[in-house]
């Protein structure tokens, strides 16, 4: 049977809108991620003080802020279904693939909003020039997708486990570390005034990792979701 | 009866052979293999460090395959096997990390300096540890098997990145691995003999240990079944 795209997209949209509405009413995840980003940024910025920091260092600091803020918000996405006991209803009304994609889209949106808020603030706080803004945006976008994918699949893994908070960080760290490592080195290039020949290989590595991770997550999600 | 006797004798001979060759490899590494030009005595760690690194990845691969088998068949036995493979994997991962750190102290002057190779082996260690952290956090047996199988597979897709991609993107001081970009083996024949024997015999040792663990798991299961029958 050929895949029908329209109903699939429609289903994803309905589920995505449900999460969005829920979020707009409670604003729990939004508040958490924005405040967490602000707190991490303050901690980093304050401890560095007025030292002149090299671009390489700034790239690493930026991704530390991003990754830790993301980790604080992702864990909640499936947990809230378990807590509200709506997970079983969700299983009845939608296919696993659509559920995963809807949750994933929500996480991507959440992280993108956080990036729109954090990155300008970060650049302002450390008062430096980004030499290649286009490259930075591309890196952030691919990193965003990678982090959201890893966050979504790990979130469903831990929704049933005990001691979730600590477990989420422990489990997701090895999976999203490749994203972080490549993103840091790509961001270094974007922050420097030097030529950007090496950027292509970094971006290819990141893109391929994103694709592999998303495909694997889509395939594996069904095994966790249906029991 | 005769058949089991032959089988037992074969197993005994195999174990004896494994024991003898393992000792030969240790002796060979110190007394038979010559030192290549410019290399110091401490490079002999190579005969133990590289095979353990190889087994770390092999154990992880086997655990991923076994996890896949579990998800396919939903037989608890596969899950127990996968956990056993990972337990051995974490052991060899520790050996690799420690021998590597010892070598680094002798060669680079510090036990640890976040060389890309050191980073990747450390991340592997973290993945293994996270796998067992997940297992201990889930109470329900079926849930535990399912979740840890998915995690093993998910983590496994990051392994090629750490082993093959990251150390090649970033400059590393680590000596070229056997599968290097020039596709050349930088060892003379005597070194190669010892090295390949070591690789083979370590793999055999690992498979033997894994087999032993699997037998224990099966025996455990039988005992449980019998106990249930008596009740």
Give the C-alpha separation, B175 to B167, whole Å. Answer: 11
* Contacting A residues, span 131-170, partner chain B, CB-CB under 8 Å: 153, 157-158, 160-163, 167, 170
Query: What is the pLDDT confidence band of residue A197, given thresholds at 50, 70 and 90?
Result: confident
Predicted pLDDT at A1: 45
In the numeric block, which tokens belong to residue B75? Answer: 């037989």
Which domains does chain B carry? 2-230 (1.20.120)
Report pLDDT digits (tens) over B49-63.
Answer: 989 999 998 999 999
Among the partner residues A157, A162, A167, nearest to B150 by beta-carbon distance: A157
Look at residue B180 and tell me whether its pLDDT is greater than 60: no
CA distance B162 to chain A (A): 8
Report pLDDT digits (tens) over B3-28.
Answer: 778 888 888 888 899 899 988 888 88
Q: Which long-range contacts (CB under 8 A, 24 or more apart) does B28-33 make?
A: B28/B193, B28/B194, B28/B197, B28/B198, B29/B194, B29/B198, B32/B190, B32/B193, B32/B194, B33/B190, B33/B191, B33/B193, B33/B194, B33/B195
CA distance B155 to chain A (A): 6
Report pLDDT digits (tens) over B90-128.
Answer: 999 999 999 999 888 888 888 888 888 888 888 889 888
Chain A residues with beta carbon closer than 8 angstroms to that of B161: 178, 209
Report pLDDT digits (tens) over A156-168.
Answer: 888 877 667 678 8
- 8 Å CB contact of B161 and A209: yes
CA distance B146 to chain A (A): 7
**Max CA-CA distance within chain B?**
70
Kindly identify which residue of chain B lies nearest to residue A149, measuring between CA atoms: B154
Alpha helices in chain B (DSSP H): 2-27, 46-73, 76-108, 116-137, 141-156, 159-160, 166-169, 189-230
Give the C-alpha separation, B168 to B160, whole Å. Answer: 12
Task: Return the residue matching tokens 């029958």.
Answer: B229
The answer to whether residue B13 neighbours chain A at the CB level (below 8 Å) is: no
- 8 Å CB contact of B133 and A178: no
Report the domain count for chain A. Answer: 1
Sequence-ordered list of residues with C-beta below 8 angstroms from that of B120, at least 6 positions apart, any chain: B162, B163, B166, B167
* Residue in A169, A13, A171, A160 with CA at minimum distance from that of residue A87: A160
**With 0-12 CB in 10 A as exposed, 13-18 as middle and 19+ as buried, what is B101?**
middle
pTM: 0.84
Chain B residues with beta carbon closer than 8 angstroms to that of A167: 133-134, 137
CA distance A24 to chain B (A): 31
The answer to whether residue B133 neighbours chain A at the CB level (below 8 Å) is: yes
C-alpha separations of A73 from A163, B25, B215 in Å? 16, 52, 44
In the numeric block, which tokens belong to residue B112? Answer: 């640890």
Computed over every residue of chain A, the mean pLDDT equals 85
- 8 Å CB contact of B127 and A157: no
Contact assessment for residue A166 and residue A172, using Cβ atoms and an 8 Å cutoff: no
Report pLDDT digits (tens) over A12-60.
Answer: 888 889 888 888 888 877 888 888 889 988 988 888 876 778 888 889 9
Among the partner residues B127, B138, B162, nearest to A161 by beta-carbon distance: B138
- 8 Å CB contact of B133 and A157: no
Contact assessment for residue A138 and residue A183, using Cβ atoms and an 8 Å cutoff: no
Sequence-ordered list of residues with C-beta below 8 angstroms from that of A171, at least 6 positions apart, any chain: A154, A157, A158, B130, B133, B134, B151
Kindly identify which residue of chain A lies nearest to residue B141, measuring between CA atoms: A161
Chain A residues with beta carbon closer than 8 angstroms to that of B154: 153, 175, 216-217, 220
Contact assessment for residue B124 and residue B162, using Cβ atoms and an 8 Å cutoff: yes
Q: Which domain holds residue A95?
A: 5-225
CA distance B180 to chain A (A): 19
Kindly identify which residue of chain A lies nearest to residue B158, measuring between CA atoms: A175
Chain B residues with beta carbon closer than 8 angstroms to that of A217: 154
The answer to whether residue B147 neighbours chain A at the CB level (below 8 Å) is: yes
How many other CB atoms are there within 10 angstroms of residue A207's CB atom?
15
The answer to whether residue B134 neighbours chain A at the CB level (below 8 Å) is: yes
In the numeric block, which tokens belong to residue A203? Answer: 């971006």
C-alpha separations of A46 from A79, A121, A125, B41 in Å? 33, 13, 10, 48
Report pLDDT digits (tens) over B125-160.
Answer: 988 899 999 998 888 888 899 999 999 998 888 887
Chain A residues with beta carbon closer than 8 angstroms to that of B142: 227
The answer to whether residue B125 neighbours chain A at the CB level (below 8 Å) is: no
Contact assessment for residue A175 and residue B124, using Cβ atoms and an 8 Å cutoff: no
Look at residue B30 and tell me whether its pLDDT is greater than 50: yes
Chain A residues with beta carbon closer than 8 angstroms to that of B146: 223-224, 227
* Residue in B167, B192, B43 with CA at minimum distance from that of residue B107: B43
C-alpha separations of B92 from A175, B25, B55, B104 in Å? 21, 17, 7, 18
Give the C-alpha separation, B45 to B106, whole Å. Answer: 11
Report pLDDT digits (tens) over A114-138.
Answer: 999 999 999 888 888 888 888 899 9
How many other CB atoms are there within 10 angstroms of residue A101's CB atom?
21
Q: Which of A151-165, B174-188, B201-215, B217-231 is predicted with the least confidence, judged by mean pLDDT?
A: B174-188
* Residue in B169, B92, B174 with CA at minimum distance from that of residue B125: B92
In the numeric block, which tokens belong to residue A172? Answer: 């997701």
């Amino acid at each position: 049977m050929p895949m029908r795209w329209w109903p699939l997209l429609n289903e994803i949209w309905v589920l995505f809108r449900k999460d969005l509405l829920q979020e707009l009413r409670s604003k729990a995840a939004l508040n958490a991620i924005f405040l967490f980003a602000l707190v991490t940024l303050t901690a980093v910025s304050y401890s560095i003080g007025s030292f002149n920091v090299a671009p390489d260092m700034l790239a690493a600091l930026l991704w530390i802020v991003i990754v830790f803020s993301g980790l604080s918000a992702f864990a909640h996405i499936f947990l809230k279904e378990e807590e509200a006991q709506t997970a079983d209803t969700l299983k009845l009304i939608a296919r696993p693939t659509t559920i995963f994609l809807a949750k994933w889209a929500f996480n991507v949106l959440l992280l993108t909003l956080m990036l729109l808020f954090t990155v300008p603030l970060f650049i302002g706080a450390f008062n430096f020039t980004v030499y290649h803004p286009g490259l930075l945006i591309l890196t952030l976008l691919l990193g965003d997708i990678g982090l959201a994918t890893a966050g979504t699949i790990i979130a469903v893994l831990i929704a049933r486990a005990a001691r979730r908070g600590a477990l989420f960080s422990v489990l997701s760290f090895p999976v999203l570390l490749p994203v972080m490592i490549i993103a840091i080195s790509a961001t270094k290039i974007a922050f420097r005034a030097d030529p950007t020949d090496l950027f292509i290989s970094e971006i290819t590595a990141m893109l391929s990792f994103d694709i592999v991770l998303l495909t694997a997550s889509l395939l594996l999600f069904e095994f966790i979701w249906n029991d | 009866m005769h058949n089991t006797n032959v089988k037992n004798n074969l197993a005994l001979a195999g174990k004896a052979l494994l024991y003898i060759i393992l000792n030969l490899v240790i002796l060979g590494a110190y007394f038979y293999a010559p030192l290549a030009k410019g290399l110091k005595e401490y490079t002999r760690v190579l005969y133990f460090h590289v095979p353990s690194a190889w087994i770390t990845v092999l154990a992880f691969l086997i655990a991923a395959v076994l996890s896949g088998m579990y998800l396919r068949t939903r037989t608890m036995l596969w899950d127990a096997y996968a956990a056993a493979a990972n337990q051995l994997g974490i052991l060899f991962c520790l050996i690799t990390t420690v021998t590597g750190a010892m070598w680094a102290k002798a060669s680079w002057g510090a036990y640890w300096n976040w060389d890309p190779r050191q980073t990747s082996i450390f991340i592997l260690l973290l993945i293994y540890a996270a796998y067992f952290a997940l297992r201990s956090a889930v109470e329900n047996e079926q849930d535990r098997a399912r979740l840890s199988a998915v995690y093993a597979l998910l983590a496994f897709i990051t392994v090629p990145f750490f082993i093959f991609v990251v150390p090649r993107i970033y400059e590393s001081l680590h000596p070229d691995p056997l599968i290097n970009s020039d596709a050349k083996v930088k060892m003379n024949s005597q070194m190669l003999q010892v090295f390949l024997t070591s690789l083979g015999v370590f793999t055999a040792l690992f498979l033997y240990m894994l087999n032993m663990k699997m037998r224990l798991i099966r025996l455990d299961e039988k005992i449980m079944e019998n106990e249930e029958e008596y009740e």
